[in-house]
Structure 1
Amino acid sequence: MGVSLVGLHWIYLLFIVLIVGFMVFRKDTTILCIAGIFLLGLISTQSLSHSISGVFNSFIYAIKELLGTILIISIIVSMSKVLTLTGINESMISPFARWIRTPTLAFWIIGILMMVISWFFWPSPAVALMGAVLLPVALRVGLPAIGAAAAMNLFGHGIALSGDFVIQGAPKLTADAAGIPVGDVISASVPLVFVMGAVTTIVSFWMLKRDMKNGTLTASPQASVLESAGPVVGGGLLSRSNRVLFAVIIPLLFLADVAAMFLLHLQGGDATALVGGTALLIMLWITLTAHKQDGLAKSTNYLIEGFQFGFRIFGPVIPIAAFFYLGDSAFTEIFGKVLPAGSHGLVNDLGLALAHTVPVNQAVGAVTLTTVGAITGLDGSGFSGISLAGSIANLFSTAIGSGVATLTALGQIAAIWVGGGTLIPWALIPAAAICGVDPFELARRNLKPVIIGLIVTTIVAMFLM
């Protein structure tokens, strides 16, 4: 069994390389992911029946993990279709049009607002708020949908989540593992987070403008799912005064959500649930008002359309998510306790093995922490491996004699930028789905800016240690 367990890690690594390669060359990865799950199950359990059922169970696990995201996207889409068909969205976006007049302003305003909201409530509810209010304006002024998605993604799931200065969930995990105060990690992460953020967003924006200029990327005001409900027929469903009234009330309700998140200390899933519940009630209220006696049936139809969209978007993602979740706790849940005692999961074991095979100095330490953080982020969580990054930072800093806080912050940043939602397709689905773009295409567009950002941030970290 010992030999097979060593082989298990190598096979998992091999399939990671193959999956990434397939994605880079724009090949579908579904069959490859299923083959990887089956082979890992066959080697670990040595049972054909368990490996076959493991494929199905891994899909169930992935769906359970992704269900909250599927629901919030489906409900936001349902609400947005009602807003478009009634003409309310036209009334909502008109005040913002005076501020967002160019694609450049749209990219940076959406990004900065996304970052600020995500600092307080994490990115998922922020994506919903940005999508409902500002995205239609950005599309109207010529920002391509994938540009809006990249702005939301890089500023929210990248800059805000990797620093986590307000909620401090990420630095608490890494600081505890490294054995240092949380304040030390936050202080060390500030310059690294902003270097990473500045480099990544500037490169992404430059690529966006280049592609728009040479014609390989064009803007379409109908690109977003929020704008795709069909022609506006609001004149026949709601009077102008009612449209204006709803256009005022809806942003106020979402602002009330923001206030409630702050006052009630709601974060992460709780904050997302509040936004989702508000969007659902708004959809029902508008539907009953607009369609009157047909409102009951129409509300069900809008929900069905939203759920169809949500599961259609997530369909290609579930197999790849199922495979990568096996790198963490899902493996034991699906295939049983076959990993050796002391194992931290396949992904974290690979990162730990890397840390023990490299020489130790400041340059190598920084490169290793970035690499370990990126590897542990491959499970798509971003948070699951940052404790390991903290532990390895402690180990390296002891050998080097300094830099524990900087190394800890660097590992945290790499893990969250890769796994928290800028490169792993299912982690960036909220922004991709709301903007109506392919999550795999968004991951490919983010790849070069994020890699360049990690390289520059790693070099800066070497001088700060």
Structure 2
Amino acid sequence: MPSPGMLVYFAFILLIIIAISFKKKPVIIAALGLLAVGTLDTGSFVAGIQVAFRGVLLTAADLLPIILLIGLVVAMTGMLKETETETILIKPILKIKNAAFLYWLAGAMLLALSLFLWPTPAVSLLGALILPLIHRSRISPLGLAVGLCIFGEGIALAGDYVIQGAPGLTARSAGVAMEQVLWQSLPLVCGSGIIASLIGFRVMTVQQKKNIPVYKLVDNRERLDGQKGEEQQKAQEQEEQEELDALPPIKQNHQSQKRKRTILALTAAAFYLLAVIWLIYGKLRGDSAVAVIGGVTLLVLILGTVLADYKTSFNTFGRYIQTGMKFSMEVFAPIVIISGFFLLGTHSGYENVLLHQGAGYLEQLANNLSGIVVLNKYSCALLVMLTAVLGAMSGSGFAALPLAGGIAAALGQAAGISAVPLAVLGQVTAIWTDAAVIPWGFPAIVSAVTQTDAAQIVRLNVLPWLATLCFSLIWTLFNY
């Protein structure tokens, strides 16, 4: 019999889905859900308040490295733009006028980086190139964001053939050999990747025709200097010109400034190249990779600020940091609340937030459904996919893999069918769900890098996501 807390938890999930479908931000619903579930589960309003805060606190702690990294990347990008160093870094790419080629080029670059670094540090690293590219090229930022979601996490992490973290976790959870998971996931990953990337390309071309300016894609919040309104931009340019006029003649020397920009561009490119080599050969993953990228970004920001003008570097550096962190916090503040609510349904949240032992709400639901539905290969496949989608709603497709793998093993044994294809189906479903249609998941990170709105990215991602799930389901049912 489901507990009152469990029933309320899924009722609030339904409310969140309804709010998103009506283009409303479900932050207040998630916050109320934290309080309601905590109060009903503990039987005390005071304890429920503590549960709500613990959920937000644990989520904030998990997301803090990403928040800081995105803030530093945005701050560094602002510095590169203000010093006009970005023109040197992206000059070869700016010669490419074909938006279609840029879509595939950025996707291929992110796919290669994600295979070795994992999606989050990879997209953050590529963000140093993407932001100036969006500002100065004609590619649609929303169309590019869709492509980054597809290539960055969808294709790269669904198979995870280099690091092998996802198939390893799936195999352990399902009690099967990892080699079987790797081999049987290959057609699903390749097929779903081709379908999603082609649909994403079509989405990009449609967005390209709309030609929406970047500053209109965000919720009227101040972004980097290049995204402010015309009046603010003119005022800033006038202020910058006055500051320039006040500088000594040596500072206004065009050749001197050009030489500094060249030195900074070469230094930044060299540092990031060394960082990638370090990550690959040092086999640094996850938080370790994030720390390396963040440290290199901070170093480039410091050097660039001092090299541009050491006399004003004290104030300028602080302004860059404030701009970057303000942007990052604006993006991730609502995500912390929403992810905190979904954390309650996971095994980790059930133990660390609600302070109970046992399976989380999501796993309990999957187990209950498996005891009600008649089991055959069709119902088992659908149940595994449903479990994977529910698990990924926490904002981490990776966190859903143990749940999907465990359910695949249990259903496979009960129905007398192999658990391997079911586990692979769950893996692909969970990763693609987080990559495409969870606004507080990977699309949130992509939105921060491309300075677009995560909800708009998710709406454009729905069709590629559905296509990948349909292909994966059909392939699994008719080939195993």
Q: Which residue is 2:328 aligned to?
A: 310
Aligned length: 454
Contact 2:110-2:126 within 8 A present in 1 as well: yes
Q: Which residue is 2:195 aligned to?
A: 199
Contact 1:406-1:464 within 8 A present in 2 as well: no
Offset at 1:23?
0.7
Supply the distance in 1 between the matched residues of 2:335 and 2:405 (Cα, whole angstroms). Answer: 30
Q: Deviations over 1:123-181 (max 9, x none)?
A: 11211222112443355332111122211111112111121111111111111122221
Offset at 1:372?
1.5
Farther-moved stretch of structure 1 (360-369 vs 271-280) = 360-369
Q: Deviations over 1:1-27 (max 9, x none)?
A: xx6x52222221111111011011111
Supply the distance in 1 between the matched residues of 2:82 and 2:88 (Cα, whole angstroms). Answer: 12
Contact 1:50-1:335 within 8 A present in 2 as well: no
Offset at 1:444?
2.1
Q: Which residue is 2:354 aligned to?
A: 335
Q: Which residue is 2:117 aligned to?
A: 121
Offset at 1:401?
4.5
- Which residue, 166, 172, 179 being the options, matches 1:176? 172
Aligned-partner residue type, residue 465 of structure 2: V
Q: Deviations over 1:27-77 (max 9, x none)?
A: 121221111111101111111111123323322222112111100000001
Supply the distance in 2 between the matched residues of 1:396 and 1:52 (Cα, whole angstroms). Answer: 37
Match of 1:316, SS? helix
Q: Which residue is 1:285 aligned to?
A: 303
Contact 2:214-2:452 within 8 A present in 1 as well: no
Q: Does residue 322 of the first structure (1) align with residue 336 of the second (2)?
A: no
Q: Which residue is 1:373 aligned to?
A: 388
Q: Does residue 9 of the first structure (1) align with residue 6 of the second (2)?
A: yes
Contact 1:423-1:447 within 8 A present in 2 as well: yes
Q: Which residue is 1:270 aligned to?
A: 288
Q: Does residue 45 of the first structure (1) align with residue 39 of the second (2)?
A: no
- Which residue, 376, 380, 387 being the options, matches 2:402? 387
Q: Which residue is 2:271 aligned to?
A: 253
Supply the distance in 2 between the matched residues of 1:138 and 1:35 (Cα, whole angstroms). Answer: 37
Supply the distance in 2 between the matched residues of 1:227 and 1:175 (Cα, whole angstroms). Answer: 48
Offset at 1:354?
2.4
Q: Which residue is 2:212 aligned to?
A: 218
Q: Deviations over 1:209-260 (max 9, x none)?
A: 23443x3x52549979567376698985961122122222212211111100
Offset at 1:206?
1.5
Contact 1:30-1:320 within 8 A present in 2 as well: yes
Q: Deviations over 1:243-284 (max 9, x none)?
A: 122222212211111100111101111111111110100000
Q: Trace 1:88-103 onto structure 2 (pairs within 5 A).
A: 88-98=85-95, 100-103=96-99
Considering only aligned residues, what root-mean-square deviation do their CA atoms show, in Å? 2.3
Offset at 1:289?
1.1
Q: Deviations over 1:76-104 (max 9, x none)?
A: 01111110000000111102223x32111
Offset at 1:400?
4.8
Q: Deviations over 1:403-422 (max 9, x none)?
A: 43221111011112223x32
Farther-moved stretch of structure 1 (348-357 vs 25-34) = 348-357
Supply the distance in 2 between the matched residues of 1:199 and 1:182 (Cα, whole angstroms). Answer: 25
Contact 1:142-1:220 within 8 A present in 2 as well: no
Q: Does residue 423 of the first structure (1) align with residue 421 of the second (2)?
A: no
Q: Which residue is 1:153 aligned to?
A: 149
Q: Which residue is 2:140 aligned to?
A: 144
- How has the CA–CA distance of structure 1 residues 7 and 448 changed in structure 2, closer, same or farther, with 3 Å as cutoff? farther
Supply the distance in 2 between the matched residues of 1:309 and 1:352 (Cα, whole angstroms). Answer: 41
Q: Which residue is 2:78 aligned to?
A: 81
Farther-moved stretch of structure 1 (28-37 vs 237-246) = 237-246
Q: Trace 1:350-361 onto structure 2 (pairs within 5 A).
A: 350-361=365-376
Supply the distance in 2 between the matched residues of 1:34 and 1:236 (Cα, whole angstroms). Answer: 53
Gaps of 5+ in 1: none
- How has the CA–CA distance of structure 1 residues 227 and 155 changed in structure 2, closer, same or farther, with 3 Å as cutoff? farther
Q: Which residue is 1:440 aligned to?
A: 455
Offset at 1:366?
2.0
Supply the distance in 1 between the matched residues of 2:198 and 2:9 (Cα, whole angstroms). Answer: 34
Contact 1:425-1:440 within 8 A present in 2 as well: yes
Q: Deviations over 1:337-363 (max 9, x none)?
A: 2xxx5x321122222322332222222
Supply the distance in 2 between the matched residues of 1:312 and 1:192 (Cα, whole angstroms). Answer: 36
Match of 1:68, SS? helix
Q: Does residue 456 of the first structure (1) align with residue 471 of the second (2)?
A: yes
Offset at 1:389?
1.7
Offset at 1:397?
3.1
Supply the distance in 1 between the matched residues of 2:157 and 2:438 (Cα, whole angstroms). Answer: 15
Supply the distance in 2 between the matched residues of 1:189 and 1:169 (Cα, whole angstroms). Answer: 14
Q: Which residue is 2:51 aligned to?
A: 54
Q: Which residue is 1:300 aligned to?
A: 318
Farther-moved stretch of structure 1 (315-324 vs 267-276) = 315-324
Match of 1:425, SS? coil
Supply the distance in 1 between the matched residues of 2:262 and 2:383 (Cα, whole angstroms). Answer: 56
- Which residue, 257, 261, 265 being the options, matches 1:243? 261
TM-score (norm 1): 0.91
Identity across matched positions, percent:
29
Supply the distance in 2 between the matched residues of 1:447 and 1:348 (Cα, whole angstroms). Answer: 25
Contact 1:347-1:378 within 8 A present in 2 as well: no
Match of 1:356, SS? helix
- How has the CA–CA distance of structure 1 residues 356 and 203 changed in structure 2, closer, same or farther, with 3 Å as cutoff? farther
- How has the CA–CA distance of structure 1 residues 207 and 169 changed in structure 2, closer, same or farther, with 3 Å as cutoff? same
- How has the CA–CA distance of structure 1 residues 301 and 226 changed in structure 2, closer, same or farther, with 3 Å as cutoff? closer
Contact 2:130-2:450 within 8 A present in 1 as well: no
